[in-house]
Amino acid sequence: MKRKVEVVVISDIHLGTYGCHAKEVLQYLNSVKPKKLILNGDIIDIWQFRKRYFPKAHLQVLKKIISLAAKGTKVYYLTGNHDEKMRRFSETKMGNIQILDKLVLNLDGKKAWFFHGDVFDASVQHAKWIAKLGGWGYDLLILFNRFLNHCLIKMGREKYSLSKKIKNSVKGAVKFITNFESTATQLAIEQGFDYVVCGHIHQPTIKKVTSKKGDCMYLNSGDWIENLTALEYKNERWSLYIHGGKQAHLNPENDEIETIEEVELSTLLSAMTKFA
């Protein structure tokens, strides 16, 4: 029995890479019946196309998305940095599928702002070769991690995520994630949005954030490389879907509210200019 959901948000699938869990993505998409499906960037990893790696399971994910659109689901493909070449087709509409760089929706009287988030990443904006080199290194890390987990399972031990360990232990990575969330949230508050929904940093999150100028909900759909997560909206409530696990719900009235520090004005102005 498929679950009926008003909005599903998935991002950072990275079809065409070794780390992509395409079969799990397909299992998830087969389990839901969304009115709206928002693909929030880095769905197809065009950066890695030189490897000519695109197995059948990856193609099936694309076919499933087209099938959902054919059956009435409104599909919004929001471009990310790994599929940035699709930005030349922004505003293109094909039946129920629309390609955009950003999206604004009214959800039960509240304004929701969706975009991938690479606009805040200096390595992508100013030194793409460094970002691409990092992408290839990440791919190798994922392959090695799979081999490691295969050995751990053989020994009866739990799987281990090397990339998560690195991200959580490196201060620079933690600071980048914090700055990313703060910048996105403050920009959303400045423009009067109730929800801001991103991808890009592979960190699934739902939290209410407040600043001197107001508050809003920050959400990140995570990824389908490590976390295998999606965001779902139903009955005026957001939840975080974790493949193979339980859904994490948020009750804005009871959950802890995080306070953010003001982001530098130059950073905000730069981001607002790009989104104008």
Name the one residue in this structure whose structure tokens are 């991690």.
145
Distance CA 79, CA 38 (A): 11
pLDDT > 60? residue 203? yes
**pTM, 2 dp:** 0.74
- Digit-coded pLDDT (tens) for 81-109: 877 788 888 889 999 999 999 999 999 99
pLDDT > 60? residue 223? yes
- Digit-coded pLDDT (tens) for 5-53: 999 999 999 998 888 999 999 999 999 999 999 999 989 988 666 567 8
Cβ–Cβ under 8 Å, residues 10 and 40: yes
Residue type, 115: F
Measured CA angle at 213 (ends 208, 214), to 5 deg: 30
Give the model's pLDDT for residue 97: 96
Give the model's pLDDT for residue 186: 85
- Domain hosting 205: range is 3-275
Give the model's pLDDT for residue 25: 97
- Digit-coded pLDDT (tens) for 170-197: 444 445 556 777 788 888 888 899 999 9
Confidence of residue 239 (pLDDT cuts 50, 70, 90): very high
At residue 29, the 3 state secondary structure works out as: helix
Give the model's pLDDT for residue 162: 54
Distance CA 67, CA 73 (A): 9
pLDDT > 80? residue 164? no
Give the model's pLDDT for residue 114: 97
Cβ–Cβ under 8 Å, residues 168 and 174: yes
Give the model's pLDDT for residue 87: 82
Structurally, the chain folds into a number of domains equal to 1
Mean residue pLDDT of the chain comes to 79
225: phi then psi, degrees, rounded to nearest 5? -110, -50
Q: Any idea what the CATH number is for the domain that residue 182 is in?
A: 3.60.21.10
